Homo-oligomer: A and B are copies of this chain.
């Protein structure tokens, strides 16, 4: 491959009320507000050395405008553009200056219909990792991954591995031998993106990295004390898959945020992807806890990069597995 995707880097979420979002993301979760204007809030974690990893954009309807990946250089953008165009995916350029604090960007709806964005440059900012006096709430560190529901996981799994250079760390398969879900990475931990069989394309959640398990517990305490108890959808608990400690939250617009801490190093090319049986109750929550229905059924819609309209969703290709522990 003549390009290098570094990592998942930012998301642009449409939200209805910036003040409600600010309270949730900053006061409760401890994000740092790098900048904002009447229509946007730019947020980053304490470890991040670039301008933001989350853009909240005022809109009439909650939706996902873009899932952004950082690449090594602007040349990589050209190579990616050629790749997508050759395969029949129309691309769109946003020249430098068009988006705040970000260099030239390439957008494309991928084979599942997810609105991707690639860019090499973002304005540097002060990294606040050692400004412990600013630590609040969740002690938010950095963006970690996207998790998406798609109708055809195997197609996404192939596309990302063969064309985009992702590697698989773990996957779930069915008794019929189909890949139900897959965790794919560019940076050296469990994932930058995961795909799960289901109605889609939709964004199931954005994962953010926290420094330790107690920060997740404290997040629950803080949310409850602020009246956000209902924002806690699932967890805290231990994932079987990834071994991370997790907590799923719903923001004021219903976007799902995962707080995530402590997976493992995936640097080795001879690491054999870990297979999980879809009927293994320890796969999702290692302790065997079931997830609520909303976690299975609800997710954020995504937008077409050209029309700005919601991308039409299709049901998951694989037959729905029950009982309780099916993703």
Contact = CB atoms under 8 A, between A and B. Distances in A.
Interface of A: 6-7, 27-28, 47, 49-50, 70, 72-73, 121, 124, 129-135, 142, 187-188, 211-214, 217-218, 220-226, 229-230, 232, 236-238, 240, 243, 245, 262, 264-265, 267-272, 281-282, 286-289
Contacts of A72: 269
B47 A225 contact: no
A130 B227 CA distance: 12
A264 B47 contact: yes
A109 to B, nearest CB: 25
Given A131-B225, A142-B265, A124 B272 contact: yes
Given A124-B272, A130-B243, 14 more contacts: A27-B133, A49-B268, A131-B225, A132-B225, A133-B226, A134-B225, A135-B221, A212-B262, A213-B214, A220-B238, A224-B282, A224-B286, A229-B286, A229-B287
Contacts of A287: 220-221, 223-224, 229, 232
B240 A130 contact: yes
B288 A229 contact: yes
- Copies of this chain per assembly: 4
B288 A218 contact: no
A133, A134, A236: most-surrounded residue (chain B CB, <10 A): A133
A305 to B, nearest CB: 25
B225 A217 contact: no
B262 A211 contact: yes
A310 to B, nearest CB: 31
Contacts of A6: 267-269
Instruction: Kindly name the residue among A28, A135, A221, A243 whose own CB sees the greatest number of chain B CB atoms within 10 A.
Output: A221
24 contacts: A7-B268, A28-B133, A50-B270, A70-B268, A72-B269, A73-B269, A129-B243, A129-B264, A132-B222, A134-B225, A142-B265, A188-B267, A213-B214, A213-B217, A217-B245, A220-B237, A220-B286, A220-B287, A221-B286, A221-B287, A224-B286, A229-B281, A230-B288, A232-B289
A51 to B, nearest CB: 12
A236 to B, nearest CB: 7
Contact of A188 (B134, B187, B217): B187
A135 B286 contact: no
A212 B216 CA distance: 14
Nearest to A128: B225
Contacts of A132: 218, 221-222, 224-225
B282 A229 contact: yes
Contacts of A226: 133
Contacts of A230: 288
Contacts of A73: 269
